Homo-oligomer: A and B are copies of this chain.
Amino acid sequence: MTQQGVLIVLSGPSGTGKGTICKQLLRSYPNLHYSVSATTRAPREGEIDGVNYWFVSKDDFMMMVESDELLEWAEVYGNFYGTPRRYVQQQLDSGKDVVLEIDIQGAMQIKSKFPQGVFIYIIPPSLDELANRIYRRGTDSPDSIRQRLSCASSELAYACQYHYVVVNDSVEAAVKKIEAILTAEKCKVDRNSDLIDTVCQCGTTE
């Protein structure tokens, strides 16, 4: 009896370090797999189909959209990106956990199609700290920093659409909390009806 894997969806304002958390999570938790997206953009040198992306034609992508084969999708600079439902489902059915790092719009699409997913919102310890991080990164102009912070502030209002909120005061602490969330979710009664039935039925000792 293999317990279904859990789909974890990570979001958070830009600069909260969710990418770093996601990488560290994949490194420290071998049963966790990153969801491979489908895209219509051309492969770059060294990119492998099925590893970095599933590379598909625009026609094929549109067919996936129409037949509801994508848990979410979006157009970015003329290219389409999406999360194939079948690939995620195959991983979960084989007992593997899947993680997806995605923006709020994508996460909300997935939530409506796959409510049994676990939706985690990563937040900075404070907006001041977020400003410091973006500033230290040194890639943004003062105007861009101001715009990012204004975005972050309005994005934080979406936190209540998620199940969990994890403060990224340190990557290690945040990763440990997400691991705990994963462990706890696997103990949820709703995810263990098969186990409960099995335990109830095997009492043949007389």
In the complex, A56 has a CB within 8 A of chain B: no
A163 within 8 A of B: yes
A75 within 8 A of B: no
For A127, what are the chain B residues with a Cβ–Cβ distance below 8 Å? 199-200, 202-205
Count contacts on A: residues with CB < 8 A to the other chain.
Answer: 48
- Residue contact B203 to A131, C-beta cutoff 8 Å: yes
Q: Are A203 and B149 in contact (CB under 8 A)?
A: yes
Does A128 sit within 8 A of B, measured CB to CB?
yes
Please list 5 pairs of residues, one from A and one from B, whose beta carbons are closer than 8 Å in the complex, sorted by A's number.
Answer: A120-B187, A123-B196, A127-B199, A128-B202, A183-B184
Residues of A within 8 A of B (CB): 120-121, 123-128, 130-132, 146, 149, 152-153, 156-157, 159-160, 162-167, 176-177, 179-181, 183-185, 187-189, 192-193, 195-196, 198-200, 202-206
Beyond A153-B200, A163-B189, list 6 extra A-B contacts (CB 8 Å).
Answer: A127-B199, A127-B202, A146-B206, A149-B203, A149-B205, A167-B199
